[in-house]
């Protein structure tokens, strides 16, 4: 029997496409990882990302002239996989189509990856693809045209060769996905450098098993190409950027009996970080290792990595299974499971998160986490450093507070660039915990810090400039890049010594930040470009600076105060 729709189709295509934009991708890297899944499942050896910037006019304020600023014009994902013929290419950009639909052997399964990941970030996406012994073909879709019902079916792919720099390798075969009109980048002040750093950070962890197995991921901007190195949140892989942790006990293998009687296995492993990451040889908090621990991302790795088919699906806080504990930074866990157990782990079609069913949560707790985490916390607690007296604010901060009234206040950020109030409050809370004086409560420390014109902190941003600033209200935060040689070779040694040398460098940073914070939008753009150049020149100079041991000028008493 044939049934006509009479204007009532089961699926309203135009509104569905708009709704799918909010389907739950956490970030641009999470959406881009979907395309990486497709590439590696298609046999690619190299997965490449190219970030291209454009120039646009931006209003600097009411009645003011416009200024030119950079923006992310397009992002190109390309590989040297087996590619798609025109028929498969046309189907690949359809929502819900997959030649591997419900396949439980690999990463793909749902048929939503390429189109859904693309529209979550961009209004327009295009795909080139080529199989061996054939030509390149191209097809594209625009969300606005779909919404206005100007496009009701996928166009027939046309023969078209992509720009040479988009092609990976010799171009025998492969696929290229292009995002344009990127209106959904979930990133403050998006730039090519920040997006590159974001992709590097996420892909190094998500695809660590593929990278260790010899696959290559490249993230390119106009300033150069970066090869992504594997990052293991358990610090067990010798091939990863950082290693040295020990496997705690044996790998735990849990048999899971499915409804059909078949048995699948879940593997759980725990790791314990080296004691020297936590404490110094003298048995006190190893503050000299703060920079290295930032590079190791320890502050972001208090959690459990869930790995499906050798690809990380989710990284959840350890608190989700075992509750909050201050020592959770020093242990990690990985839960590895096959796609055949997707339902028990609550895997959605975006492959973004794990939502454990009660049965698998109880199984993991009883057979792996309860006993092992209790043992790990006892071990970590036993090597816990003795408490040190809390330090006062630096002389540089006190000087800045006294003279700040002599300068113009920072220029307020545009409304769409403002940092959310709850995020500002969270940062002040963290700063107060770090900088609380011996004679003040946490609330008193927060009040004092809110009134401070400057705060200096460190963050891990490989490939980024040696510092950046953020303004919120009358306060300016200066974030030093722990990956830049300035932090490791200059700032950390000065922190150990203290005195006027450290105060002078901090006041110099305050001066740079003050000039940048007072600038209008057009000058801020100039600053961002110049700081990147300065950072490169500074790296070149510091590379020539000889290594120097820290002077032995401390008594036992002053050493304990560090």
Domain-wise residue ranges, the chain: 13-57+66-227, 246-382, 395-561
Residue 434 has pLDDT above 80, yes or no: no
Question: Which residues are 167's β-sheet partners?
Answer: none
* pLDDT range class, residue 233, cuts 50, 70, 90: very high
CA distances from 555 to 63, 551, 560, 561 (A): 61, 12, 9, 10
CA distance 42 to 381: 47
Q: Which CATH class is domain 246-382?
A: alpha beta
* pLDDT range class, residue 287, cuts 50, 70, 90: low
DSSP 56: E
Q: How many CB atoms lie within 10 A of CB 265?
A: 12
Round the average pLDDT of the chain to a whole number and report it.
Answer: 81
CA 9 vs. chain centroid, Å, equals 40
- Higher pLDDT: 51 or 291? It is 51
Residue 10 has pLDDT above 60, yes or no: no
What would the mean pLDDT of 371-392 be, rounded to a whole number? 71
Helices 499-518, 521-543: axis angle to 10 degrees equals 150
3-state DSSP assignment of residue 439 = coil
Residue 338 has pLDDT above 70, yes or no: yes
DSSP 123: S
Instruction: Pick one of 3.40.50.300, 3.30.470.20, 3.20.20.80, 3.30.565.10 as the CATH number of 13-57+66-227.
Output: 3.30.565.10
Q: How many CB atoms lie within 10 A of CB 519?
A: 15
Residue 438 has pLDDT above 70, yes or no: no
CA distance 522 to 299: 35
* pLDDT range class, residue 129, cuts 50, 70, 90: very high
* pLDDT range class, residue 329, cuts 50, 70, 90: confident
Tell me the pLDDT tens digit for each residue of 158-209: 999 999 999 999 999 999 999 999 998 877 778 999 999 999 999 999 999 9
Top mean pLDDT of 105-109, 121-125, 408-412, 460-464 is at 121-125
């Amino acid at each position: 029997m044939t049934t006509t729709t009479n204007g009532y189709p089961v699926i309203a295509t135009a509104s569905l496409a708009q709704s799918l934009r909010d389907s739950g991708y956490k970030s641009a890297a999470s959406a881009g990882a979907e395309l990486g899944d497709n590439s590696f499942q298609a046999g690619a050896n190299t997965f490449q990302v190219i970030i291209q910037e454009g120039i646009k006019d931006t209003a600097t304020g009411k009645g003011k002239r416009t200024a030119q600023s950079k923006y992310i014009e397009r992002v190109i994902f390309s590989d040297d996989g087996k590619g798609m013929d025109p028929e498969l290419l046309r189907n690949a950009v359809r929502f819900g189509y997959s030649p591997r639909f419900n396949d439980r052997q690999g990463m793909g399964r749902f048929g939503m990856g390429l189109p859904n990941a693309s529209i979550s970030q961009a209004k327009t996406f295009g795909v080139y693809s080529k199989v061996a012994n054939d030509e390149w073909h191209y097809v594209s879709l625009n969300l606005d045209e779909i919404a206005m019902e100007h496009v009701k079916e996928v166009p027939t792919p046309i023969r078209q060769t992509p720009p040479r720099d988009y092609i990976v390798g010799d171009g025998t075969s492969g696929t290229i996905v292009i995002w344009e009109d990127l209106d959904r980048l979930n990133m403050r002040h998006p730039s090519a450098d920040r997006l590159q750093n974001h992709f590097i950070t996420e892909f190094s962890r998500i695809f660590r098993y593929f990278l260790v197995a010899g696959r290559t991921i490249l993230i390119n901007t106009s300033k150069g190409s970066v090869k992504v190195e594997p990052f293991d949140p358990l610090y067990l892989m010798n091939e990863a950027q950082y290693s040295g942790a020990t496997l705690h006990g044996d790998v735990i293998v849990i048999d899971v009996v499915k409804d059909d009687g078949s048995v699948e296995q879940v593997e759980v492993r725990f790791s314990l970080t080296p004691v020297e990451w936590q404490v110094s040889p003298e048995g006190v908090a190893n503050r000299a290792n703060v920079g290295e621990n930032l590079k190791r991302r320890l502050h972001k790795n208090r959690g459990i990595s869930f790995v499906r088919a050798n690809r990380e699906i989710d990284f959840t806080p350890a608190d989700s299974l075992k509750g909050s504990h201050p020592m959770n930074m020093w242990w990690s866990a990985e839960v590895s499971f096959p796609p055949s157990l997707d339902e028990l782990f609550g895997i959605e079609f975006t492959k973004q998160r794990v939502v454990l069913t009660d049965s698998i949560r109880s199984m993991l707790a009883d057979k792996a986490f309860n006993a092992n985490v209790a043992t790990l916390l006892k071990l970590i607690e036993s090597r816990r450093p003795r408490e040190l007296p809390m330090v006062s604010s630096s002389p540089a901060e006190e000087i800045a507070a006294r003279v700040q009234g002599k300068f113009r206040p920072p220029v307020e950020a545009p409304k769409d660039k403002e940092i959310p109030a709850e995020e500002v409050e969270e940062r002040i809370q963290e700063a107060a915990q770090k900088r609380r004086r011996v004679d003040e409560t946490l609330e008193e420390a927060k009040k004092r810090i809110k009134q401070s014109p400057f705060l200096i902190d460190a963050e891990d941003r490989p490939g980024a400039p040696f510092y950046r600033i953020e303004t919120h209200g009358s306060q300016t935060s200066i974030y030093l890049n722990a990956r830049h040689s300035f932090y490791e070779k200059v700032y950390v040694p000065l922190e150990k010594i203290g005195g006027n040398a450290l105060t002078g460098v901090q006041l110099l940073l305050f001066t740079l930040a003050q000039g940048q914070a007072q600038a209008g939008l057009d000058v801020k753009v100039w600053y961002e470009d110049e700081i990147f150049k300065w950072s490169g020149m500074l790296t070149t100079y510091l590379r020539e600076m000889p290594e120097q041991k820290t002077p032995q000028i401390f008594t036992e008493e002053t050493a304990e105060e560090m």
